[in-house]
Amino acid sequence: MGTTQSGIHGGRLSPSDYERNFSDLHPRLDDHEALVAADRCYFCHDAPCMTACPTTIDIPMFIRQISTGNPIGSAKTIFDQNILGGMCARVCPTETLCEEACVRNTAEHRPVEIGRLQRYATDVAIAGNHQFYARAERTGKAVAVVGAGPAGLACAHRLAVMGHDVVILEAREKSGGLNEYGIATYKAVDDFAQREVDYVLSVGGIEVKHGVKLGRDFTLADLTANFDAVFLGMGLAGVNGLGVEGEHLPGVVDAVDFIARLRQAKDKAEVPVGRRVVVIGGGMTAIDAAVQAKLLGAEEVTICYRRGKEHMNASPFEQDLAASKGVMIRHWLQPKRVIARDGHVAGIEVEYTELVDGRLAGTGETGVLAADQIFKAIGQTFEASGLGALSITGGRIAVDAEGRTSVPGIWAGGDCVKAGEDLTVTSVAQGRDAAESIHRALAAAVQPAAAVA
């Protein structure tokens, strides 16, 4: 088949090319590499990396534990703050979080490899199935968690450890949320998302029901009636449209669906990709789609972003990754019209843009990019259905600092709330903190009886 066959096809590459292209982006450090990397940590006091981490992992401590040959202790330090520390080590934009804050940058412009060290320690613990948490005595309280993504899993785990019984209600066939469906394949190889879910659930006390969706299969009222507390941890189900002519032609695809399909494909050759691919957008999703299109054998992949490089949501690291894989990133271009030939996508007309008085405007100058396939990656939206009286702000569920919604007994976290960045690690922090808040609320409810006794 090859890379130059026009149209959208699978099997463009040899099996060994697929194997190589979708192998681990950053393989785990071996023991020696981990020791060398760990030696560079200064064990800062009140470390800036720790402050920069949304889950506030004690990074100097976990690295010191690696350097003293104690990776198991290191993993526990990580999991105490972030039970999904394994996936976060793979997908966190560390270059804009912990590693950006590393004091080594000041003197050497090269931070300690915190992300890779975190992966080392968590991999050792998960591979050995080291369990660090025993459930507290059962409280008799039951909590419903909607969504088995990072927020829901983190919340459920913390609640289970504290002795509550948890039921997770997940709309899709597998748990993990974006970890399972939304992460580029080469960042989470060897079915890591499912292995991590299994590891998290092995604490016990958590039942997961798949294929049940809020608003379709059950209502919020069902949950509040049957559980002592509810945590909403849904993701963003909606995808923004381009709003241009030809958007619904065959060959125009949501980037998130492409990424999910690729993740679920046992054989990557089964995933068809165009010869010439244009990705519209400037975030992580655009990069993940573009890079993987290239890795599937597309001859030409172009990202079109309507603003400048400095405005892209994708980190510089991700942009460099895309460039290194041969993806062309073009700025100041917005889609104008999808061009069809024989009922299929043949190209896209784009218009140059500029900032006029701080507002984006088309310059009137247009051009055409040939394309067999177009990926839409211009943002996802929260579909607020079945939420009844819950307050919504900015299109997402409104919560306070502890994750409490406007309705007593209902908490929320993750991408469905408007707080913090839409990152896995942020979702974990919100799920965990909501669990603590739920626990305090449930404990307060039983306190009078205890006080009398």
Partner 1 sequence: MADLRNDFVGIKSPNPFWLASAPPTDKAYNVERAFKAGWGGVVWKTLGEEGPPVVNVNGPRYGAIWGADRRLLGLNNIELITDRDLYVNLREMKQVKMNWPDRALVASIMVPCEEESWKAILPLVEETGADGIELNFGCPHGMSERGMGAAVGQVPEYIEMVVRWCKQYTRMPVITKLTPNITDIRKPARAAKAGGTDAVSLINTINSIVSVDLDNFAPNPTVGGKGTHGGYCGPAVKPIALNMVAEIARDPETYGLPISGIGGITTWRDAAEFMALGAGNVQVCTAAMTYGFKIVQEMITGLSNWMDAKGHRTLDDIVARAVPNVTDWQYLNLNYIAKARIDQDACIKCGRCHIACEDTSHQAITQFVDGVRHFEVMEDECVGCNLCVNVCPVENCITMVGLEAGTLDQRTGKPVDPTYANWTTHPNNPMARQAAE
Question: Is 244 a residue that touches partner 1 (CB under 8 A)?
Answer: no
Q: Which stretch binds partner 1 (CB under 8 A): 6-14, 41-49, 159-167, 295-303?
A: 41-49
Distance in angstroms (rounded) separating the CA atoms of residues 273 and 285:
16
Nearer to partner 1, 111 or 147 (CB): 111
Dihedral in degrees, nearest 10, Cα atoms 129, 135, 140, 144: -50
Nearest to 298 by CA among 375, 378, 373: 373
Which x/- pattern over 74-113 shows residues binding partner 1 (rule: CB under 8 A)? Answer: -----------------------------xx-xx------
Which x/- pattern over 410-439 shows residues binding partner 1 (rule: CB under 8 A)? Answer: ------------------------------
What's the angle, vertex CA 176, arms to CA 173 and CA 438, rounded to 5? 110
Q: What are the start-end ranges of the H helices in 296-339?
A: 316-324
Q: How far is the CB of 317 from partner 1 (least distance, A)?
A: 22
Question: Is 36 a residue that touches partner 1 (CB under 8 A)?
Answer: yes
Q: How far is the CB of 117 from partner 1 (least distance, A)?
A: 15
Q: Which of 3, 28, 48, 96 binds partner 1 (CB under 8 A)?
A: 48
How many residues in the shown chain lie near partner 1 by CB under 8 A?
A: 15
Which residues in the 113-142 window bind partner 1 by CB under 8 A?
none
DSSP-derived 3-state class of residue 430: helix
Distance in angstroms (rounded) separating the CA atoms of residues 414 and 421:
9
Question: Is 266 a residue that touches partner 1 (CB under 8 A)?
Answer: no
Question: Is 47 a residue that touches partner 1 (CB under 8 A)?
Answer: yes
| Measured CA distances, 256 to 75, 309, 395 (Å) | 31, 22, 20
Question: Is 42 a residue that touches partner 1 (CB under 8 A)?
Answer: yes
Nearest to 81 by CA among 59, 102, 60, 114: 59
Question: Is 45 a residue that touches partner 1 (CB under 8 A)?
Answer: yes
Question: Is 46 a residue that touches partner 1 (CB under 8 A)?
Answer: yes
Nearest to 118 by CA among 194, 38, 202: 38
Distance in angstroms (rounded) separating the CA atoms of residues 392 and 394:
7
**Which residues sit opposite 207 in a β-bridge?**
167
Nearest to 410 by CA among 173, 225, 149, 186: 225
Q: How far is the CB of 315 from partner 1 (least distance, A)?
A: 23
Q: How far is the CB of 113 from partner 1 (least distance, A)?
A: 14
Question: Is 190 a residue that touches partner 1 (CB under 8 A)?
Answer: no
Q: Which two tokens stand for residue 3?
A: 């890379």
Question: Is 261 a residue that touches partner 1 (CB under 8 A)?
Answer: no
Distance in angstroms (rounded) separating the CA atoms of residues 310 and 316:
9
Nearer to partner 1, 47 or 273 (CB): 47
Nearer to partner 1, 48 or 215 (CB): 48
Question: Is 44 a residue that touches partner 1 (CB under 8 A)?
Answer: yes
Question: Is 30 a residue that touches partner 1 (CB under 8 A)?
Answer: no
Distance in angstroms (rounded) separating the CA atoms of residues 300 and 373:
11
Using CB under 8 A, list all residues that contact partner 1.
Answer: 35-36, 39-40, 42-48, 103-104, 106-107
